[in-house]
Structure 1
Amino acid sequence: MSVKTKLSFMISLLVFIMLALHVILSEYSTRVNLRSDVEANMMAVSQQIAVNVMQNSREHTFIHTMLTQKLKAVSLEAAKQLPESSFLITDKQLTQLANKLGVTRISAMLLDGSSYSTVHSSDPLEIGLDQDLLRFQLSGNTFWTPPYVASLNDEETIGEDSYYKEAGSNYVIHCYMQSDQLTDYEKIAHTTSFLTEMKAGNPTILEVTGITPAEFAKIPESQAPDYFNSAELMSDSIPFGSYGYREIEQDKKSVKEALKGKPVYRDAHINNRSVIKSFVVVKQPTPYVIGLVFDKRPMLGLLAQQRNNQIMISALLLVFVIFCSYWLSGLLFRPVSSILWKINEVAFGRFDNTIEVRRKDELGQLAHRVNAMSKNLGIYMTKLKIAFEENRSMKEYLESFINHTTDAIHVVDLEGRTTQVNRAFEQLFGYEAEVAVGQMLPLVPEHLVEEEQKYLEQLQGGKTLTARETLRVTSSGEWIAVSATTSPIRDKHGEIRAIASITRDMTSRNKMDELLRRSEKLTTVGQLAAGVAHEIRNPLTTLRGFLQLQLETSKLNKMHVDLMLSEIDRINLIVGEFLILAKPQAARFEEKDVRFILGDVISLLDSQAHLCNIEFLTAFEQAECMISCEENQLKQVFINVIKNAIEAMDSGGKLTIEVKHEASNHVKVTIIDEGIGIPEERIPMLGNPFYTDKDKGTGLGIMVSQRIIQSHQGTLEIKSKVGVGTIVMITLPLLKPNGIMYNTYLGVNEHE
């Protein structure tokens, strides 16, 4: 499909949607307006009916008032003409009197127990009927009529009863009178006549129903046909109008809702007709509801006619728009062919040919832009070719670097699956690339998994991690000491997408470190030899003196023997400590109290300190300081540090050694001397191999000590001030309360 056809189709589709929306909205608006008009018309008709019912009720009230006045006059006149005793009255006499006075009937009622009974009447059917008149106070001349209740039923006969008792008589005169004179007027004014005329003038109103709410609510739906066939029951619930379009349960709900004061309108389908039923409450003369049934067919017919007209007009407009849009699209896209030709040239990599531009409108500007784009693309393509060759060369260089480096490199995603490995990784861990990629390799020992997870969390939190010495597991299950560097790999948005790890085998370097430690130990032993020899000479001199004394006296002095044995034990202790430093030991971690280790070292160096006029001051923690350590290596560290402090104090002084808990899971050993101090710029260089300011030093003591402390998961910190002294702080992890050691390992743990 061409662009011209697509544009024409899109314009036509847009117009079609707009016309369809117009038709829908127009029909909806018309429907709403018609429905509003119908509801307003139904409300107006209901109000007219209410006014007519009210007027009819007032006419009935007026007639009853006139009848009451006439009955009073008749009763007084009848009392004058009738004897005082009921036994003297005859039915014939009452008939003549009724005809004479112009009433329907006259009766004489005599008290019979708790009610009054008719004993004589102008109407034989009245004789024997009882009525309860005791609620009236019958004293003196009394005239009364039953209370009048306005009725909505205008088809009932208007009549009035009256009762009169004259003082001195033993009976009550009962008169009844119908309104014969006003019968013709009633037929003209009653509601039924009005409804007939109203429906004739409004053919859309199918039915009008007057509803008495209380009686209507009692209608059982199952007995509705029999109920509405009874004129008496019908008049109680439906006082006027008809009730042919009935839905009893729904109408009951509507009547109940209308009684709240708001008109109710409901759509229904009754007697094969679509109708609208309305229910409007009227408060006078008594509360009742006017129901109307409106025929929806005229309204629906008007809606259908308007809809058809709208659709026809919209169809004609749509056809016109289709032809016009197609013609305009053709005019608009004629210059596009040349632009399309140029774009095809560019697509095939030919950038030299240009478009001849003769227009100054937007399409002309587009042609100029296409020519400029073609020229720029030619330049960019040349640059891209050069950049591609550079990138290809760099990629080959990086791949060669990664694959030929001796450090194992592997990349994992955020879920821990391996995505890339190099050849050094295959050689170090024993996993082939085909096997490793896509798998979660168990490279971290179980006891270090938690620690490794913390490192990854720090890395994902943005923290930069330095290289750390740890352990890894090969495919064969062998543990190897490595130096691991972990770095994040981020996308262009800065989000971490993978983790790259560079692992270096530290086995050879750890062996070299062990050799350095041995060398430093031998150097330390050589330097200690003089002090140890001097310390041994003192008890030997004591032994020699006591032995000579024993030879001269030829007596065995027990006190002298005890002193000699004590000196021999001291010699044995000094020699034993010296042998510990000289003899290679297996690196095996044990639970030791760091206070006792320092005590042994102080005992060993005490003689050398005395020779240098140095006094040891100790301040040890009272609570136990249990750590997991290799005792000989820690002794080597303490000896190195204390020996350096002694050598720095040429003029003697005090050497303070403190041991105290640091926080809740570390112990801190602080060694403070009063020596010459170390320049601040030299402190960062301490620990570098062979860096020393001593004439006979090797520069390995501090380096070996730092390595030992690191292998014990501790820290060694040096602070110094020239002319004041030096402070060495060694922090080591305490054992956990349950005796489990913190993650601690040693790089080399083979037996020598």
Structure 2
Amino acid sequence: MSFKIRLTLILSTVVMIFQTLTVIVNDYAMRVNLKREVQELMHNISASVSEHAARKMRPAGGTDEDSPGLDPAALIQEFQSLHRNIMEIAVFRPAEEGGAGSSSAQEAGNAASQELTGRLLYGSYDIHASGTDSADLAEAMRSGEVYRSLRSGGKTLLAGTFGFPESGLAVRIAADLSPMYGMIRETRNYQISLSVLLLPAAVAINYGLAYVLIRPLRQILGKVDEVASGRFDTPLAVNRKDETGQLAERINAMAKNLDVYTAKLKKAFEENRSMKEHLESIIHHTTDAIHIEDVNGVLIRVNPAFEQMFGWSEEEAIGRNLPIVPESGMKEELEAREALLAGQMLPARETIRRRKDGSCFEVSVTTSAIRDRNGVIQAFASITRDMTNRNKMDELLRRAEKLNTVGQLAAGVAHEIRNPLTTLRGFLQLQQQTNKLNQRHIDIMLSELDRINLIVSEFLILAKPQATKFRIQDVRFILGDVISLLDSQAHLCNIVFTTSFDSEPCEVACEENHLKQVFINVLKNAIEAMPKGGEIEIDARKQPGWIVITIRDHGVGIPEDMIPKLGDPFVTSKESGTGLGIMISQRIIQSHQGTMEIRSTVGKGTTVTINLPAVE
């Protein structure tokens, strides 16, 4: 059944109920009004009849003013002729003459009716109320009036008993209400017939009203169906200013907002789907093992690389706490979990993992926490990379670098020694041919032998470092010893050392002789870089956690393209240098957990900065 028909039936039912209630209320009101008017008429008649009967019963010696008037019997006939519905009027004598006041109230049945008949003064008493008349008469003498409804001869009667204690008389009037009730029934039936006749018209009117009311609602319902189907582009055209129009405006606004939000959701869904597919592709095709486990260590998800790397299938791994961490790495793993739970970010760490067959292998593990929307950690995601082949490759590379370095050193040493050997061979052959000793040749030969000895000595120091014992020393004192050692050489070259040391102790854990070698190599390079003399600045400062030594000259400088190569064997800007001094110095500084930085500008000088860990 359509809503329009249901609304029509509802409205028609409401109209019918309203009309029925109207008929019932009107019928009841008319009956009540009729009864009230009859009671008022009875009261007036009884008062008039009682007054005339009282006058008639006064003694003969009264005044003219108190003399009897109209005869009560004639007055009763006159009232009955005027009011056709008054069937009988009865006036009973006073109680003191016949005891009608109290003794008659205790009698019952026909005896009571006969007794009342014997006390009748005027009128007729043919309509009896089954023995209740005496009680009504007694009650009326006490309270003034009593009404009782009767049925007699198929008629509806109303009996009213009125007492007048001052005159000792009682009046009983019986009125027939049937004719007037009949008129009321006719009016009621007429109204019902009219309602039945008007019902089709009411149904038609209600149907039209329902159509007018439902038409905009049908449009709104159609728009709601379109919105439910995902179509938001057609707005409602309901030009009304009432609640229906406001509802249409709200639905249009809702559809517009839903259109915007749906477009955004579709875009976000596509982006999420694309991202999910991308991530799934990465997870399934990466060679790194990826697994997700809850806070209790139970695996939630693994990728194919995990199955291949550890030997457990996905069915075997999910829902279990696998022993992939060996006993030796358990402490490290617990510390990592505690750090993640504390909110820290962990870098990739190299450790050991165990396969299903019990074999262990080297891996690089990156672990991160997975949190819910409230920031509570729900799981951990780990990416494991097998480092076995990479470590082997790194070892091969280190060996290759060592062999390459040895080859470079051997080639450099051979090249550097071959030149003086060639000079020695030439002079020896010359002296063998001439059988003469030339002092000048001997000096050159000795100089070349010294050069060969220097190269071999530096190479031995680099190749076979001595065992070192670190002690706490003040860098200021070590620099002072080196400056005293090189001071005479500096004066010969017209060079002055300018020092600026921190007033606080600059203590480091070091091997004193090795640091002296470093400072001697750097200061010698600075002296040789200033052939015209000048000033060399030496600073030693204590900074948080570090001791910073700065040696600055104002010499010829080093070309910018050569600075990255400093430290390689036999790479030097000096004609007579070997390049091994800087290499040895860098190696010594690295063994002291420090750094060495060289900055230079051609024509302006070079600055060497050495940072060593301070002793707290």
Bin of the TM-score, shorter chain as denominator length: 0.3 to 0.5
Tell me the TM-score normalized by structure 1: 0.31
